[in-house]
Amino acid sequence: MLVRGLRGLQHPGLNLTGLVSGLYFALFAMALKFGPGPQARWCLAGVAMLAVTAWLASLRRARAITEVATSRIASAAQGYVELMGRASVSPEHLIYTPLGGIACIWYRYRLYSRDNAKREWRQIDSGVSSSTFDISDPTGVCTVDPEHAEVVGAEVRTSYTGNDKLVEECLFGGGLIYVLGDFSTLGGAGMALNLREDVGALLTSWKQDRAGLHRRFDLDRNGTIDLQEWEQARESATQTVERQHRDFRQQPGVHLLRAPADGRLFLISALSPQALRNHFVRWSAFHIAVGMAAAAGWLYLA
């Protein structure tokens, strides 16, 4: 239940780590402000519950990265897979951050304005890209749809203009990209085709061109298509569709990786699998330490 609650906060525009850390700080600050008493204990109990939730979520991510082996694009099984490939540098796959104008394959930005009266930064705008990009390994190319992905390890660039602060996170073309998500191949040898439906559709299109139908299949030229002639038309349509299907299946398939429909983790990162796993292990240790500190504070005030 706790892990599902934290997953409910997941959104590609959110920095989940920053959000949880901010909640820790806010709850600890409230506990100090209230001082000894039941209100402070409730704040510390909230920190402890949040820490347990975040700890379990981090461990879950580390476990998923460990349990799923890295696949080659050309031989990857259909379904939940882990891939590692180099991002395309083709101009057609590059996009630009809307405020900083940085060329990349994915971005997330946050714009802050300084409140001089309160001496703090206030977020006034944010956004995240959804354009697809390609990654490749020695065996093939895969298109990645980043919609709903949790992106970790992007390069962060911060710039200041007057009272504004712009924070941009980017993944760049040419770099190695790790992805964990749902893999499928569209077209190619495994393309799903229905011979009966396609033959029926072709015959329907032929019947709409009545003059052409009679020119091809009214062999006795009596102005009607009899049963024997119609069977010849059906056989011709079947041969045509079978030939088209063979051509379709001989064409290379398009590999696509996107968010799993069953809600499993969808991760994109500039880190290697081992570095990404260590990232989540370190955060799990941090969360449990925060939880233990909150629990100790609660016992002290009890």
pLDDT digits (tens, 9 = 90+) for 142-169: 999 999 999 999 999 999 998 999 999 9
Same domain? 245 vs 121: no
- Total tally of structural domains belonging to the chain: 2
Same domain? 230 vs 121: no
Confidence band (pLDDT; 50, 70, 90) for 252? low
Contact criterion met (CB below 8 Å) for 96 and 170: no
User: What's the rounded mean pLDDT across residues 30-43?
Assistant: 78
Same domain? 160 vs 212: no
User: What's the rounded mean pLDDT across residues 229-250?
Assistant: 84
**What's the rounded Cα separation, in Å, for the pair 40 and 62?**
33
User: What's the rounded mean pLDDT across residues 164-191?
Assistant: 88
Highest mean predicted confidence (pLDDT) among 6-10, 185-189, 192-196, 223-227: 223-227
Alpha helices in the chain (DSSP H): 2-7, 16-34, 38-67, 195-208, 210-217, 227-250, 273-301
Q: Which domain holds residue 246?
A: 195-250
Q: What is the pLDDT of residue 3?
A: 40
Same domain? 282 vs 242: no
Q: What is the pLDDT of residue 16?
A: 63
* Exposure class string for 49-76: b at 16+ Cβ within 10 A, else e: ebbbbbbbbbbbbbebbeebeebebeeb
* Whole-number percent of the chain with pLDDT over 70: 89
**What's the rounded Cα separation, in Å, for the pair 180 and 81?**
6
The more confident residue out of 273 and 42 is 273
> What is the per-residue pLDDT across 46-56, written as a single tens digit (0 to 9) for each?
888 888 888 88
**What's the rounded Cα separation, in Å, for the pair 46 and 62?**
24
Same domain? 175 vs 70: yes
199 by DSSP, 3-state: which?
A: helix
Same domain? 143 vs 284: yes
Handedness of CA 266, 271, 277, 279 (dihedral sign): negative
Same domain? 136 vs 285: yes
**Is residue 241's pLDDT more than 70?**
yes
Q: Following CA atoms 86, 90, 92, 97 in sequence, which dihedral angle do they give, to the nearest 10 degrees?
A: 70
Structure tokens at 7: 């997953």
Q: Which of 214, 231, 250 is the last residue of a domain?
A: 250
User: What's the rounded mean pLDDT across residues 179-208?
Assistant: 83
Mean pLDDT of the chain: 85
**What's the rounded Cα separation, in Å, for the pair 10 and 135?**
24
User: What's the rounded mean pLDDT across residues 65-79?
Assistant: 92
**What's the rounded Cα separation, in Å, for the pair 150 and 268?**
6
Same domain? 35 vs 97: yes
**What's the rounded Cα separation, in Å, for the pair 89 and 104?**
9
Strand partners, 86: 136, 176
Q: How many helices (H) and strands (E) does the chain have?
A: 7, 14
Confidence band (pLDDT; 50, 70, 90) for 4? very low
Same domain? 82 vs 128: yes
Structure tokens at 199: 């033959």
User: What's the rounded mean pLDDT across residues 260-271?
Assistant: 93
- DSSP 8-state class, residue 119: T
Radius of gyration of the chain (CA): 29
Q: What is the pLDDT of residue 88?
A: 92
User: Residue 99 CA to chain centroid, in angstroms?
Assistant: 23
Same domain? 48 vs 163: yes
User: What's the rounded mean pLDDT across residues 109-126?
Assistant: 89
User: What's the rounded mean pLDDT across residues 194-219?
Assistant: 87
> What is the per-residue pLDDT across 12-32, written as a single tens digit (0 to 9) for each?
444 566 677 777 777 767 877
Same domain? 31 vs 119: yes
Q: Angle, nearest 10°, between helix axes 16-34 and 273-301? A: 10
User: What's the rounded mean pLDDT across residues 121-129?
Assistant: 93
Lowest model confidence (mean pLDDT) among 117-121, 132-136, 164-168: 117-121
Q: What is the pLDDT of residue 187?
A: 67
**Is residue 1's pLDDT more than 50?**
no
Confidence band (pLDDT; 50, 70, 90) for 2? very low
Query: Full-prediction pTM beyond 0.75?
Result: no
**What's the rounded Cα separation, in Å, for the pair 145 and 128?**
13
Q: What is the pLDDT of residue 224?
A: 85
Please choose, from the candidates 204, 182, 207, the residue with its C-alpha nearest in 3D space to the C-alpha of residue 264.
182
Q: What is the pLDDT of residue 12?
A: 46
Same domain? 67 vs 146: yes
Q: Following CA atoms 109, 114, 120, 122 in sequence, which dihedral angle do they give, to the nearest 10 degrees?
A: -40
User: What's the rounded mean pLDDT across residues 4-19?
Assistant: 50
**What's the rounded Cα separation, in Å, for the pair 228 and 16?**
69
